[in-house]
Structure 1
Amino acid sequence: MRPTIPIIPASTRSPAASPDSPLEFRKSPALSLYVHIPWCVRKCPYCDFNSHENGGEIPEREYVDALIADLQSALPLIWGRPVQTVFFGGGTPSLLSAGAIDELIGAFRALAMLSPEAEITLEANPGTVEAGKFAGFRAAGVNRLSLGIQSFNDEHLKALGRIHGSAEAKRAAQLAGEHFERFNLDLMYGLPYQTQAQALADIDTALSFAPAHLSCYQLTLEPNTHFAAFPPDLPEGDLCADMQEAIEARLTAAGYANYETSAFAQPGRQCLHNLNYWHFGDYLGIGAGAHSKLTLHDRVLRQMRHKHPKAYLENVRAGRPIQEEHAVAAAELPFEFMMNALRLADGFASSLFELRTSRPLAAILPQLKAAQADGLLDLGPEKIAPTAKGRRFLNVLLERFLDDGQ
C-alpha cells in the first residue's frame, strides 16, 4: 500500500526547546490520529515503507491491545484536544478483522475525544478476502475507504508484484462504491513498458466507478527496495511527464480538482486527514514505526514508535513504545511548514505560517520574493501558492527555504 504521509523527518540536533526558547504557540492546530498496521501478504518490490510479510496469521489480539495501550500512554500529550480524523495505514490494515477495527474505533471514542463527525479512513487491498470485509468495516465506523488498485492491467499488476488481478480490482472498486459514499482509488503511472494510452485506460476504468477521490502518482525507484536493486525498464522521463499532463487533463474534464500534488477529488471530497498534514497540523501516530508531530506550548515535538512489529509489541508491554523523540529546531520549522503547505495547489493563508511556526512571515520574505521573481510562487497579501511552474519543480522551490544546517 502507498502510505499517505511523505514527510521528511527533521534533524535530531535539537533534543528539546531551551527554557528561554522564543517559540510560543498560542493555538494548537487540528489533531489527527494515524494507526499503522505493519503486515502485508507480500512485500511489493517498489515499497520502501514499514511493512512486513505476515507469513501466516497476524497477532491481531496482541496488536489491538498494544495499540490501545500505546494510545493511553500518549494521552497526556493530547489531553483536551478532539481528534478530527483517523487513518488506518500500512502495510495492509484490511488484514485485520472488522471486529478488531470496531474495537479500536470504540477505544478511540472512549479515550481520545474522537469527534462524532470524524473522517475515518482505512486502506485496503483489492484481494477477495479483504473485499469481503468491506461491509463489516463500514458497520464498525469506517466512513472512507482507500483502495490500493495501482492498475487495472494484469500485465502491469504482475510487473508491480501485486497479489490481485484486474478482475479483483474492478470487483473491489464496485464493492467500495456500494458500501462507502467516499472512497479513494490509488493508481500509478510510469509503469514498466506502460504506454500513455494504457495509463489513460486505467484512469477511464477508475472513473467508471465514480470514486470521490483519486490518487495518481508516478512509480519511482526508492532506496532499499527490490526495484532499486533490480531496476525494471521504466518509460523515459518525457513520456512520464506527458502521462502526467494527460492524466491531469482527463481528470479535470471529469470534474476532479488536482488539489494536492498527486491527489484529485470531486468538489468537497478532499481527504481531510491528508489536508491536515499539508496544513502542518498535528497528528499522533500509534503502531509499529508510526510517526507523530505534536505542537506543545513551547515546541514542536516529533516521535517515532519502534519499527519492527515484534520490537514494538515488546516495548509497548514494557511501557516504552517510543523509539525516537526530539523537538524540531526553530530554524527548521519554515522548511517543514513549506514542505507540506506548498504541496497544495491553492497554497495557504499567509497568517497560517506564523500560527504553525511561531515565526513572522517576514523571516522568510527574501526567499518568498526570490521564488516569486523566478516564477515559482504567487505571493499575495492574504494567500501564498505555488505557480504551475512551482508545482512542476516543487523540490527546487522547497530548497529556497532550507536552513543552512539542513
Structure 2
Amino acid sequence: MIKLPPISLYIHIPWCMKKCGYCDFYSYVSKTNIPEREYIKNLLKDLEKDLKLINQRKINNIFIGGGTPSLLHNESIKILIKGIKKRVLISKHSEITIESNPKTIEYKRFRKYKQSGINRFSLGIQTFNSSLLKKIERTYNKKEAIEAIKEIKKINSNFNIDIMYGLPNQSLNNVLSDLKYAVKYNPTHISWYQLTTEPNTSFYKKKICLPNENIIFKMFNQGEKFLQKSGYIKYEISSYMKSKYKCRHNLNYWNFGDYIGIGCGAHGKITKINGDIIRTIKNKNINDFINGKYLDAKKLIAEKDKPFEYFMNAFRLYQPIYKKDFQERTNISIFEIKNKIKKALKHKYIIENANSWETTKKGKIFLNSLLKIFLN
C-alpha cells in the first residue's frame, strides 16, 4: 500500500454579477434569484459521494472559489461550512479561504463569513486604477477596492490580494502604482500575474490589444524587484508571501497533493490506495447539478503521463523538488525518468542534487520547453 498524499477540498460557486472579458473560469451570470440553499444542499451531497474515494483522510484546507463566492449570503456560508464539518474530519489548523469581490454588498458580509469559520480572504482587486477596471470589465472602482481591503483588515489579518499586469493600455507606472497600493495595506500574500487572453474568452475573440513583450518584461522585472524590496518572498511563479503565509491550498496543488472538487465544473484529483490517480470533473449544467447529476467525467491518469502531470505543478515552485516526493506522489521510480532528467540537465533547465532537483532561472524562463521534455 502506498503513502497517500495530503488532501484539500475545493468548492466551486459558479455565479458572477458579470462575466469579465478575460475570464475563462466556469461561471453563470446572475445578479438575482441565485438558488443558494438548493445548491449548497447538493454541494454537500456531491461531497458525500466523493468521500467514498478518499480512504477516510482528513481534509487539510478548504478553498471556496468561483465565480464569485461572496455573492452568497452569510447564512449560506454558515450552512456550507457546518455541513462539511459534519461529514468529514477537518484539520484543526486548516486554512479556509473564500474568494471575494470588492463590491460593497459583498464585503459587508466578511465579518459574518469569519464567524462561520472562514480564516483567509482572497480579494480579486486586479488593479486600483478605475479606468483600467472599466477596460477589463470589472464591476467596482478604486474606492470600493480600498474600502474592501480596509474592511478585511479590521476582522482578519490573513488575506491575499490578486493583482494583474499587462492590461490593455497599461503603463509601467500604472503597474508600480498598483503594487504600491497593494503593499501599503500589508496583505500576507499577493498573487501578481500577467493578463493573458484565452481562446474561449471575449477578449480573445475581440483581439484586445495588450502591451508588447518588451513592455511586459520591464513590468515583470521592476514589479518583482519592488515586491522583494517590500518584504515579499516569491515562492511560486506568480505568488509572493510575507513570512510563512503561503496559500496552503494552492501549495497542495503544486506539490501534487490530492483535492476533492465539488460544485458545477469543479475538478478533483484523488490517489487510490493501489497507486492509481484519478481526475474528476463535475457537471457544468446548473440544472442537472441541482437535480443530483454531479459527476461529468472520471479519468485515470496513465502511468506514462504521471511525470508530466507532476512536474507541470512542481516546476512552478521556488523550492527543491525532492526525489522521494516524486516517487511517493506518482508511484514511479526516478530511474524511469532518468533520460528525461538528463535532457533537462543538458539544457541547464534544472540542477540535480543527491536528494532533489531544482529549476534554474533559465528553466523558469523557458518553463514550457522544460515541460515538453516530460511529455510523451
TM-score, normalisation: structure 1: 0.91
Specify the SS of the correspondent of 2:53. helix
The answer to whether the Cα contact below 8 Å between 2:54 and 2:272 also exists between their aligned partners in 1 is: no
Partner of 1:326: 299
Partner of 1:18: none
After superposing on structure 2, the runs of 4+ consecutive aligned residues of structure 1 that deviate more than 6 Å are none
Offset, 1:88? 0.1
The answer to whether the Cα contact below 8 Å between 1:85 and 1:273 also exists between their aligned partners in 2 is: yes
Q: How far, CA to CA, are the matches of 2:261 and 2:174 in structure 1?
A: 37
Specify the SS of the correspondent of 1:77. coil
Amino acid at match of 2:183: L
2:350 corresponds to which of 377, 384, 392 = 377
The answer to whether the Cα contact below 8 Å between 2:288 and 2:294 also exists between their aligned partners in 1 is: no
Partner of 1:312: 289
Q: Work out whether 1:393 is the aligned partner of 2:366.
A: yes
Q: Work out whether 1:273 is the aligned partner of 2:249.
A: yes
Partner of 2:63: 87
Q: How far, CA to CA, are the matches of 1:123 and 1:334 in structure 2?
A: 31
Amino acid at match of 2:312: M
Q: How far, CA to CA, are the matches of 1:154 and 1:347 in structure 2?
A: 40
- Deviating more after overlay: 48-57 vs 256-265: 48-57
2:322 corresponds to which of 336, 349, 361 = 349
Offset, 1:311? 2.3
* 1:189-208 matches, cutoff 5 A: 189-208=165-184
* 1:82-231 matches, cutoff 5 A: 82-231=58-207
Partner of 2:311: 338
Q: How far, CA to CA, are the matches of 1:310 and 1:258 in structure 2?
A: 41
1:235 corresponds to which of 197, 202, 211 = 211
The answer to whether the Cα contact below 8 Å between 1:125 and 1:149 also exists between their aligned partners in 2 is: yes
Q: How far, CA to CA, are the matches of 1:135 and 1:266 in structure 2?
A: 23
Offset, 1:392? 1.4
The answer to whether the Cα contact below 8 Å between 1:36 and 1:89 also exists between their aligned partners in 2 is: yes
Partner of 1:302: 279
The superposition leaves residues 4-43 of structure 1 with CA deviations (integer Å, 9 ceiling, x where unpaired) of xxxxxxxxxxxxxxxxxxxxx6111000000000000000
Identical columns (%): 39
1:60 corresponds to which of 10, 23, 36 = 36
Offset, 1:391? 1.0
Q: How far, CA to CA, are the matches of 1:308 and 1:176 in structure 2?
A: 33
Aligned length: 375
Offset, 1:385? 1.6
TM-score, normalisation: structure 2: 0.98
Offset, 1:264? 0.5
Q: How far, CA to CA, are the matches of 1:67 and 1:102 in structure 2?
A: 13
Q: How far, CA to CA, are the matches of 1:362 and 1:179 in structure 2?
A: 51
Gaps of 5+ in 1: 1-24
Offset, 1:171? 0.8
Partner of 1:246: 222
